[in-house]
Structure 1
Amino acid sequence: MPIAREHRWLYPIDWRELSAFIRFTRARGRCEHCRRPHGRDVLHLGEGSWWDEDTARWRDGRGRALRGLAAPAELARRTPGLAGIGAPAALQVTRVVLASAHLNHDPGDNRPRNLAALCQRCHMRHDASEHRRRRWLNAFRTRAMGDLFA
């Protein structure tokens, strides 16, 4: 994820190298929460389940193998009119991009145990509470400035 301009000064000079080490050396190019592979298009059901081509099985949002779901090609054969498309309408395709996330939301804390390689979905889920807090704080400041000058 791009670094906000106002937060750039909190990151160390070697952030690119540190981030690359976390994403590709330690995590081996996979999300550390759900195991999605970096740089690939992944079939998913929208609620977190995704098709792992390497092991030919469905995985849940935490990377654990799921049972009982047919392969995407089998789902396409079962759904009339979609055999030519190759995937049923319920399947979505997303390109996975890994980013290094600060687990405690402090961009100044760059210890390896505070950093995790996360895909977009896991990163947004991890940061959801922090995003809500910041939205509330920005709205509060805006109302306060309006009260001050109105």
Structure 2
Amino acid sequence: MPSRPEHRFFYPVDWVQLSAVIRFGRARGCCEGCGRAHGRMVYHLGDGRWWDADAARWRDGWGRRIRVAAEADILGSARRTRVVLADAHRDHGTSNNADANLAAFCQRCHMIHDRPEHRRRRWRTLFRRKALGDLFGSPYA
């Protein structure tokens, strides 16, 4: 579901069912960006590299196999995260719910995908705050 209540009405009534079909039907419970499985605890290094327990290999942020240098402190720097899949609109338009426009992404891949949109919204919010401050003669809050 959308993170803000005012955005809830941009989604169809059957969004929960549609989301489940994409995440667990088409994507089979794995991220379409990096391949992480839904609900699993994964060890990661914070820069996108993560341990794939099924293949017993390290993978990069896009799911490709990599080699990690054997460092003495690699396990001390690894963190654990539970993977949660969410649906993302590839074109950022919530009205376009075609199968080709929806993707099942983990948290990391979803944030990377939405980064340009988040930057645009942040700029617009700051611009609006400054405009209101100029209009009403108050400091920018």
- Measure, in 2, the Cα distance between the counterparts of 1:132 and 1:20: 28
Q: Is the 8 A contact 2:49 2:60 kept in 1?
A: yes
1:96 corresponds to which letter in structure 2?
V
Equivalences for 1:89-108 in 2 at 5 Å?
89-108=76-95
Structure 1 unmatched ranges of 5 or more: 80-86
1:79-117 CA-to-partner distances (Å, cap 9, x unmatched) read: 5xxxxxxx7211111110000001111111111111100
Structure 2 unmatched ranges of 5 or more: none
Following superposition, which runs of at least 4 residues in structure 1 exceed 6 angstroms of deviation? Answer: none
Are 1:118 and 2:111 counterparts? no
- Measure, in 1, the Cα distance between the counterparts of 2:59 and 2:106: 15
- Measure, in 2, the Cα distance between the counterparts of 1:133 and 1:94: 28
- Measure, in 2, the Cα distance between the counterparts of 1:108 and 1:54: 37
Partner of 2:118: 131
- Measure, in 1, the Cα distance between the counterparts of 2:38 and 2:69: 24
- Measure, in 2, the Cα distance between the counterparts of 1:99 and 1:16: 11
1:47-105 CA-to-partner distances (Å, cap 9, x unmatched) read: 111111111111111111113556xxxx6xx55xxxxxxx7211111110000001111
The SS at the match of 1:34 is: coil
1:115 corresponds to which letter in structure 2?
L
Partner of 2:53: 53
The root-mean-square deviation of aligned C-alpha atoms, in Å, is: 1.6
Q: Is the 8 A contact 2:2 2:8 kept in 1?
A: no
Partner of 2:19: 19
Identity of aligned residues (%): 59
Partner of 1:83: none
Q: Is the 8 A contact 1:58 1:69 kept in 2?
A: no
- Measure, in 1, the Cα distance between the counterparts of 2:24 and 2:49: 23
TM-score normalized by structure 1?
Answer: 0.85
The SS at the match of 1:109 is: coil
Corresponding pairs, count: 137
